[in-house]
Amino acid sequence: MDDPQPLDRVARIQADWRRERPDIDIAPQGVIGRLHRLADQLTEELCLVYGRYGLSEGEFDVLCALRRAGEPYERAPGELAAHTMVTTGAMTKRIDRLERAGLVTRRRSDDDQRGRIVALTRPGRELIDRAFTDHMRNERRLLDLLTPAETQALEGLLTTWLSRVENPRPSDSK
């Protein structure tokens, strides 16, 4: 078989497993292993942009969740945790750091005096607007490594796969 692409790390690992365990179908490792490696590399590339703004990935997520909320750019901490898929404990640490940096404020909820509301400050909004613009440029740069047709096909496949993983039908979970 004439394969113009050299063996990548995953292909070399698969070759080792084929030699050592020819009784096991290691084909899934080709997709899952490459997705895992790609996710790691993409995360590194994305975090470079966040770092330019003095933000961690999690802090960027919190500021984005607040900015997406629209005027007045605020949410309850539990709602933020749900929008960023982290525990409330992890969210508290992120909010503490962002508050110390002057990017968010906390106040009591008007509806429930026991509840809290987290809001973007003006400097927080200005920062996330700049960071998000830069982030989108970076994502465009990364996607431009593919053709528009490849990007569209990949997005379709990933959308379908993610939907099936997140919402398995009874027949899917054999």
Examine residue 166 and state whether it is found in any structural domain, yes or no.
no
CATH number (domain holding residue 102): 1.10.10.10
Report the predicted TM-score, pTM, of the whole model to 2 decimal places: 0.84
User: Which residue range forms the structural domain that includes residue 119?
Assistant: 9-150
Those residues with Cβ within 8 angstroms of residue 84's Cβ, 6 or more apart along the chain or in another chain:
58, 61, 62, 65, 91
pLDDT tens readout for residues 85-121 = 888 888 989 999 999 999 999 998 776 656 789 999 9
pLDDT tens readout for residues 128-146 = 999 999 999 999 999 999 9
Contact criterion met (CB below 8 Å) for 50 and 131: yes
CA atoms within 13 A on the CB side of 86: 18
Examine residue 167 and state whether it is found in any structural domain, yes or no.
no
Examine residue 93 and state whether it is found in any structural domain, yes or no.
yes
Considering just the CA atoms, what is the radius of gyration of the chain in Å?
21
